Structure 1
């Protein structure tokens, strides 16, 4: 590494350390102000050879999965498979997915002139309190109506006719992203026409905010001076590699264990348990890859293209021992929106406990809608993990996590492994049970098929043997 690069990386690390000290208040909440700073992993990979070695390990795992897929299919079938079949099927019917996205984008664009009309009316009648109050009520009703159209049409369309898993996930994630964007703009511009009211965004700034890697609206954001196109290309290549990574994990760990699930009327419990534990490691790797793909590579690429200076999309959640800090640090982009638009307005009236519960409930329901529309069935595994067990862990680790940080950091990582293994196995079982099991009158979007088909049984000669009997 050259001397100039070393100095530049050292300055980034120093700026990151100083910014980290300023982003956490005494009450543990994260400051909402923006400043120019790099993502934690950018700093760590640039400055720590140990973290860079871990990065290289994941690259090598990807290469080994690629070699395994190519060589196995070459020997078995006489053709080379580079994992594109899963990607093509996952992003199937991309035309319909693109049309749904364009509809969502059109609704968000139509919101801007409606906002300008509302603001002009408030300014015109700013001295008439009665009319202004009526306009405020109409504005709330209009905002709710726009949001209902934005999420209602895609939900009805995807619920009526299932779209491929990845395409549906993109459409529903974008649906919620646009929803939070226009809500943030509406709340920020609601006081327009009053004393010291905020300025309305120009159309250019509005478009910028729609694609900026933040959900919190501000009149100005810190900007960088130049665009490093090599940096952008590198992160987009990482996104493509991680998509390929997950396709290999699906082909090598999901399909062999679960693709035939439901073809037989009965399945031995041992095979189910073996398959569930076989999903733990790939499920956890997919969890890490998903975090890196979306919250680091994708957001950093867009931040660089838009010269968006604040790259703190997450904090160092991997070192924490408290679930409260993990939920704040894992995804600062969404957390900041939930904090500003749900928790803070509710906390003075409902109290911190109820407000926290509502935040978890809203977030869990949104995640469950994405999964239900993506898979084509409702199976609230993530809802239970995130909205029930995750919520219970908040008070359990609040004080004990501070007293025993190493032990509870270990417990957190254990929960990540176990929880993601359950997600990968249970959703896969349900997905293939609905494909392979014969149809019946009791089939429903909301009732899991894998609970009744196939029947999970023990071996006929199964008996429990005391593992300590060898000592006698």
Structure 2
């Protein structure tokens, strides 16, 4: 059942939603229902409050965190005579936080500067609209020409603003590398602000040219939208009655705990395999393959922690602070057996923006296939942009995995996933584990190869260093033996 169909079914208890999206009830007049935003909780919030089984899994992850802390405590104490508790990767990852803050303030300033620009554009369009009349012969210039010129000027100003928002931080990070976590903050925020500005532009610019249309949003509402956990602009969102600060504190505590959780995973189970990569001129292929497989389980746990940290804890904390009532930031993607449904359910915040602003406008012009391909490529390019600027090198592993293999999985699982949901849910989890294992191996390989290998004239931002240093060789006395011979 689709989301709209499910909504109509749930709403039938109180009334009926007609084809135009109006809620009809015997005791009240018709009112508009926005099908995109409804008061609802996140799936994990519901499951944790209603299912003892899911709550037990949540407690298992907390217990694993405690065991990891004890393991790190004992290992550091016995081996080094000091206690680190995963603090050093966190400090290193969020290094140069002052520069990160300055770049973020620059991005925020440009996002705020868009609002007075929108007001000026709306004022100019209104003035031109009032004076628009059929121009007599030989009377230059025509009001229609002035209106077209004003629209062109507005589009150029918007392009310049978005160009500065995306270009200046990218140039600064390309000029001088920032720590990994700090770089992620800068790049993700610049993309988030750009998507929000575009959403407001699409919603509000037609109002500037329409006579007697909906007024432009107030600055207060625009500021609310900049920090609301959504990328789709609306004049009104469903709101809760009050902020539960205890819930906010709990979610922020979860964010901090997961940051250290990932730090423990990297420090104890991933970095030991790759931190010395490139210090020796040669490395055996068997060691590389063994390290990749050893990183599969830590990587999938890190992947799940990242999902919970960003799409559940962080977004729910902001939703609670801003009394934003629609908490459906994701769906039950872990039960999916079709990759098309997985991509829609994994991150509904980004998916909704791509659907409304890329896919739907392209379908009438290019068709469904080309529109889908465009969405995948745009999403893959921006994912790779974040990684390239954060790591300090271009290594398009995610671009290939997401933009090529991820796209191929959509038609491959479309039919079989419906016919054999159990089997293909297993296939989906298997591919996620293998894919994350490769990502959590290949990017550290390249990072430490650039750090540990000697500098050479051929070093480049775009040419992978790990392809030439160190040399990957087979074991000198390696031979294939019959496994059934004893």
Fold conserved (TM > 0.5)? yes
1:102 aligns with 2:105: yes
Distance (whole Å) between structure 2 residues aligned to residue 44 and residue 324 of structure 1: 24
- Answer yes or no: is the 8 Å Cα contact 1:314–1:330 preserved in 2: yes
Greater displacement, 200-209 / 73-82: 73-82
* Alignment match, 1:401: 417
Question: Where does residue 280 of structure 2 map in the other structure?
Answer: 264
460-469 vs 296-305, which deviates more?
460-469
Aligned partner of 1:348 in structure 2 is 364
For residue 125 of structure 1, give the secondary structure of its aligned residue in structure 2. Answer: helix
- From the CA coordinates, give the structure whose radius of gyration is larger: 2
Cross-structure match for 1:383: 399
Task: Give 1:82 deviation, angstroms.
Answer: 1.5
Give the counterpart of 1:90 among 89, 93, 108.
93
CA separation in 1, counterparts of 2:114 and 2:78?
56
Q: Alpha-carbon deviation of 1:20?
A: 9.8
Distance 1:228 1:140 in 2: 42
Displacement of 1:338: 0.5
SS of the aligned residue for 2:306 comes to helix
Change (3 A) 1:21 1:258: farther
1:3 — aligned with what? none
Question: What is the CA–CA distance in structure 2 between the aligned matches of 1:43 and 1:18, rounded to whole Å?
Answer: 17
1:274 is the counterpart of 2:290: yes
CA contact (8 A) 1:225 1:307 kept: yes
What do residues 132-155 of structure 1 show as CA deviations (whole Å, max 9, x unaligned)? 232222222221111000000000
| Contact 1:36–1:310 (CA under 8 A) maintained in structure 2 | yes
Match of residue 413 from structure 1: 429
Q: CA deviation at 1:467?
A: 2.0
Number of the residue aligned with 1:160? 175
- Length-normalised TM-score, structure 1: 0.93
- Once residues 262 and 224 of structure 1 are traced to their aligned partners in structure 2, the CA distance between those partners, rounded to angstroms, is 54
Separation in 1, partners of 2:432, 2:409: 13
* Residue 54 of structure 1 pairs with residue 69 of structure 2: no
Deviations 1:21-45 (A, max 9, x none): 679xxxxxxx852110000000001
* Distance (Å, rounded) in 2 between the aligned partners of 1:468 and 1:218: 67
- Unmatched tracts of structure 1, length 5 or more: 1-16, 24-30
Which is further off, 148-157 or 72-81?
72-81
CA RMSD of superposed structures (Å):
1.5
2-structure distance, mates of 1:451, 1:196: 62
Corresponding residue of 1:446: 462
Q: Distance in 2 between matches of 1:402 and 1:324?
A: 11
Q: Is the 8 A contact 1:295 1:314 kept in 2?
A: yes
**Any unmatched runs of 5+ in structure 2?**
12-33, 133-143
Stretch of structure 1 that moved more, 75-84 or 310-319:
75-84
Q: Which of 244, 267, 285 is residue 260 of structure 2 equivalent to? A: 244
CA distance in structure 1 between the aligned counterparts of 2:52 and 2:256, rounded to whole angstroms: 24
Q: 1:148 aligns with which of 163, 166, 171?
A: 163
Taking the aligned partners of 1:20 and 1:267, their CA distance within structure 2 comes to 60
TM-score by structure 2 length? 0.90
Describe the shift of the 1:21–1:439 C-alpha distance in structure 2 as closer, same or farther (beyond 3 A): farther
CA–CA separation in structure 1 for the residues paired with 2:157 and 2:483: 67
* 2:186 aligned partner: 171
- Counterparts of 2:319 and 2:7 in 1: how far apart (Å)? 18
